[in-house]
Amino acid sequence: MSPPPPIRFGVIGCADIARKVSRAISLSPHATLYAVGSRSLSKAQTFAKSNNFPDDAKVYGSYEELLDDPNVDAVYVPLPTSLHLRWAVIAAKKGKHVLLEKPVALSAVEFDEIVVACESSGVQLMDGTMWMHHPRTSFMKEFLSDANRFGQLKSIHTVFTFCADPDFLENDIRVKPDLDALGALGDEGWYCLRAILWAANYELPKTVLASREPILNKAGVILSCGASLYWEDGKVATFYCSFLSNLTMDITAVGTKGTLHVHDFIIPYEEKKASFYAASESSFDDLVTKWGSEPSKHIIENDLPQEVLMVSEFSRLVAEIKFKNSKPEKKWPAISRKTQLVLDAVKASIDKGFEPIQIQE
Amino acid sequence: MSPPPPIRFGVIGCADIARKVSRAISLSPHATLYAVGSRSLSKAQTFAKSNNFPDDAKVYGSYEELLDDPNVDAVYVPLPTSLHLRWAVIAAKKGKHVLLEKPVALSAVEFDEIVVACESSGVQLMDGTMWMHHPRTSFMKEFLSDANRFGQLKSIHTVFTFCADPDFLENDIRVKPDLDALGALGDEGWYCLRAILWAANYELPKTVLASREPILNKAGVILSCGASLYWEDGKVATFYCSFLSNLTMDITAVGTKGTLHVHDFIIPYEEKKASFYAASESSFDDLVTKWGSEPSKHIIENDLPQEVLMVSEFSRLVAEIKFKNSKPEKKWPAISRKTQLVLDAVKASIDKGFEPIQIQE
């Protein structure tokens, strides 16, 4: 049996991140760059040219036209968060599968509307959290799930920060209340929270408490914040995200029997190789002057970058639906929703003056 | 000029940690194992024999006798925390310099009594936080102090956990309310808080908030806890400590321009070599698919283990006082006090149901 033909992607919006994902679509054997749409036709033409779209790719001067093209199987939506609800719902209603940038919406309530639209149309919905698709992530999960090597998760700390330049802090959509009202929490905290939920097997915390004194810009958009999360079983998580600190992306997960360290979990240092550190039943020598053994470094090679693997996995699911009449995979929107739900709780805790927020599904 | 004769140490108490420090005293060229005292003479004799005390070392069946020996210059006090106040004050009053295990007291109020006694007698007081004396610590500090490589400290997370065995959790002095009432907070949190203060140039936070749901044993002693700390300038710190998780000892410090990672800050993996990771102005490539450069690993070799360097530094200060009529170095008790003060605030926050505690010097 020959493999199914590649899934035809339409990219709506020419954001910076769309360059990376367009390249990923072009590198995936299961996907093809079919169309790009922008509110400006010339912007779309320039984008198509500079991002290796095929010569016969469709270039549209509006999102509507792209969504009306019956040959578009799936759309990639890198638009500002405030536009997700509108365009993801329209795309779904027009039968397009939706690869949606994170944060998936301004709130879980909004996201639920997107989910309903996708479910009604039977289209696949997945968010653009690339590191989920890196093979390293599975290896780390294997370690965290190993009762002998890691035991029970007790605490986890995640960090995502980068040092935005003055232009970003003035003009980027991620600091604009009408575009990405969740600021650093939506852009960076999303990854921190996803990593925490991932490590906790997507069990929701019962309580979320924002760190006191987040940093906001004049318009009230979060530039830096954090929170602590508490589970029924005593597990604790903390995270910190910021546009105002050096680029850092950490997971430190400590279990009863093991410890995981990774310092580049969102975007690995290198495209085709990534590592993490695992320690198990760590101990000292008799006099407590040195360790019995050091954590071991695990190196994972990947033939394709993680964003390509994301596009391939999404395309595989779309092909299953398109050619084999399968149902959409519900796991992906489910974990998007949980991430957004906890993110909402952090935001609510900040808005309520650092009150603990009980999470309800 | 010949070097001053070695400082004559008396060890009061035969705790496990006293084995490590006795070895350190014997390895330091500036100190000598002169005496050991225990409430049981035979215990003291056994300890002296199995810890390479010289044949002519004095062995006492009580702390008082040791403290009455005029040839004892300094005492090392590894007693349970609840006994620190009493014995450190008696030692100071008898003119002995005091190397005091951490936590230095059950509270800063108690510690202040020890400080007053030491100041009145003109004796040196230093706590037993060994990693302060590792040369790696100075190199890390140099990095953190570098405006170009690290910039301004924005956030720091520290962890110290180890997985205590059932016997420890039942019988160790660190889980007994009458001996070490501060439990994991005193034993492990001490290091986490010291690292945070160290990184913050010993500037006290203005607010301390304990993590919700610490784990206590039946007697109410802390087995696991954490907190977040807030400074006037927006700096944030978090820590986590536990007797119930795999051995982990981390500092993750993020500045505007740099990031520090160290995974064995309290006791290095090896006795004579230690490393840390430093990253500066970290960035992505143009397409945000990989990093511009990886953090650099810095390896520091030390000819003597850190606990020996601690004993040597303490002995150097004592010799300055003894032979050159110098004043005691106030830096060491000052940082002990600050550590205890913040530790007290964490405890108060727990006791008050996770209220934020304002720190007042």
pLDDT in tens, B271-317: 999 999 999 999 999 999 999 999 999 999 999 999 999 999 999 99
- B87-141 pLDDT per residue, tens: 999 999 999 999 999 999 999 999 999 999 999 999 999 999 999 999 999 999 9
- At residue A3 the predicted structure's pLDDT band, cuts being 50, 70 and 90, is confident
Tell me the sheet residues that pair with A99. A76, A126
Q: Do A245 and B263 touch (CB under 8 A)?
A: no
Tell me the sheet residues that pair with B230. B207, B236
- At residue B360 the predicted structure's pLDDT band, cuts being 50, 70 and 90, is confident
- A259-277 pLDDT per residue, tens: 999 999 999 999 999 999 9
- B66-97 pLDDT per residue, tens: 999 999 999 999 999 999 999 999 999 999 99
Q: How far is A33 from chain B (nearest CA, A)?
A: 17
Is B69 in a helix, a strand, or coil?
Answer: coil
pLDDT at B142: 98
Closest CA to A41 of A57, A62, A55, A61: A61
Q: Which of A43, A58, A94, A102 is catalytic?
A: A102
Q: Do A281 and B163 touch (CB under 8 A)?
A: yes
pLDDT at A111: 98
Q: Which of B58, B96, B102, B235 is catalytic?
A: B102
Tell me whether strands A207-210 and A215-216 are parallel, antiparallel or unpaired. Answer: unpaired
Q: Do B246 and A257 touch (CB under 8 A)?
A: yes
Angle, helices B16-27 vs B306-324, to 10°: value is 60
Report yes or no: A248 at the B interface, CB cutoff 8 Å.
yes
Average pLDDT over residues B5-12: 97
- Kind plus residue range of the DSSP H or E element containing A12: strand A7-12
Task: Please check the confidence at residue B361 and state whether its pLDDT lies above 90.
Answer: no
Report yes or no: B226 at the A interface, CB cutoff 8 Å.
yes
For A144-242, where are the E strands, in sequence order?
153-163, 207-210, 215-216, 222-230, 236-242
Q: Do A240 and B256 touch (CB under 8 A)?
A: no
Closest CA to B210 of B39, B315, B342: B342
- At residue A2 the predicted structure's pLDDT band, cuts being 50, 70 and 90, is confident
Q: How far is CA A335 from CA A111, A132, A152, B114, B339, in A?
A: 12, 11, 21, 55, 41
- Smallest Cβ–Cβ distance between A236 and the set B240, B269, B288 belongs to B240
Which residue type, as a one-letter code, is found at position B170?
E
Q: Do A154 and B244 touch (CB under 8 A)?
A: yes
- Which residue has better confidence, B3 or B142? B142
- B172-203 pLDDT per residue, tens: 999 999 999 999 999 999 999 999 999 999 99
Q: How far is A307 from chain B (nearest CA, A)?
A: 8
Give the C-alpha separation, A284 to B247, whole Å. Answer: 9
- Residues within 8 A of B (CB atoms), A 88-127 only: none
Comparing alpha-carbon positions, the chain B residue that sits nearest to A273 is: B290
Comparing alpha-carbon positions, the chain B residue that sits nearest to A51 is: B287
Comparing alpha-carbon positions, the chain B residue that sits nearest to A287 is: B20
Residue B283 CB contacts under 8 Å (≥ 6 apart), including other chains:
A247, B291, B292, B293
- Residues within 8 A of B (CB atoms), A 153-212 only: 154-155, 157, 159, 161-163, 207, 209, 211-212
- B196-206 pLDDT per residue, tens: 999 999 999 99
- Smallest Cβ–Cβ distance between A20 and the set B16, B269, B287 belongs to B287
pLDDT at A40: 95
- Smallest Cβ–Cβ distance between B213 and the set A163, A234, A248 belongs to A234
Burial B78-104 (b: 16+ CB within 10 A, else e): bbbbbbbbebbbbbbebebbbbbbbbb
pLDDT above 90 as % of chain B: 98
Mean pLDDT of chain B: 97
Task: Please check the confidence at residue B48 and state whether its pLDDT lies above 80.
Answer: yes
Q: Which chain B positions have a beta carbon within 8 Å of A209's beta carbon?
A: 212
Q: Which chain A positions have a beta carbon within 8 Å of B238's beta carbon?
A: 157, 211, 226, 228, 238, 240
- A292-338 pLDDT per residue, tens: 999 999 999 999 999 999 999 999 999 999 999 999 999 999 999 99
- Smallest Cβ–Cβ distance between B248 and the set A242, A259, A284 belongs to A259
Q: Do B245 and A254 touch (CB under 8 A)?
A: yes
Task: Please check the confidence at residue A1 and state whether its pLDDT lies above 90.
Answer: no
Residue B145 CB contacts under 8 Å (≥ 6 apart), including other chains:
none
CB pairs < 8 Å spanning A and B = 208
Report yes or no: A128 at the B interface, CB cutoff 8 Å.
no
Comparing alpha-carbon positions, the chain A residue that sits nearest to B223 is: A234
- A85-110 pLDDT per residue, tens: 999 999 999 999 999 999 999 999 99
Q: Do B240 and A284 touch (CB under 8 A)?
A: no
- At residue B1 the predicted structure's pLDDT band, cuts being 50, 70 and 90, is low
Q: Do A257 and B163 touch (CB under 8 A)?
A: yes
Alpha-helical regions (H) of B200-330? 306-324
- Smallest Cβ–Cβ distance between B252 and the set A211, A250, A295 belongs to A250
Comparing alpha-carbon positions, the chain A residue that sits nearest to B152 is: A245
Comparing alpha-carbon positions, the chain B residue that sits nearest to A305 is: B289
CB A263 within 8 A of CB A282: no
Give the C-alpha separation, B196 to B155, whole Å. Answer: 9
Q: How far is A162 from chain B (nearest CA, A)?
A: 8
Average pLDDT over residues A10-33: 96
- At residue B2 the predicted structure's pLDDT band, cuts being 50, 70 and 90, is confident
Residue A102 among the catalytic residues:
yes
Give the C-alpha separation, A81 to A67, whole Å. Answer: 19
Q: Do A267 and B247 touch (CB under 8 A)?
A: no
- At residue A360 the predicted structure's pLDDT band, cuts being 50, 70 and 90, is confident
Best mutation target, A187, A196, A248, to test chain B (most B CBs within 10 A): A248
- B49-66 pLDDT per residue, tens: 999 999 999 999 999 999
Q: Do A246 and B256 touch (CB under 8 A)?
A: yes
Q: Do B245 and A155 touch (CB under 8 A)?
A: yes
* Phi and psi at residue B173, to the nearest 5°: -60, -25
- Smallest Cβ–Cβ distance between B246 and the set A245, A258, A307 belongs to A258
Average pLDDT over residues A343-347: 98
pLDDT above 70 as % of chain B: 100
Q: Do A245 and B155 touch (CB under 8 A)?
A: yes
- Domains of chain A are 7-131+307-329 (3.40.50.720), 132-304+340-358 (3.30.360.10)
pLDDT at A4: 86
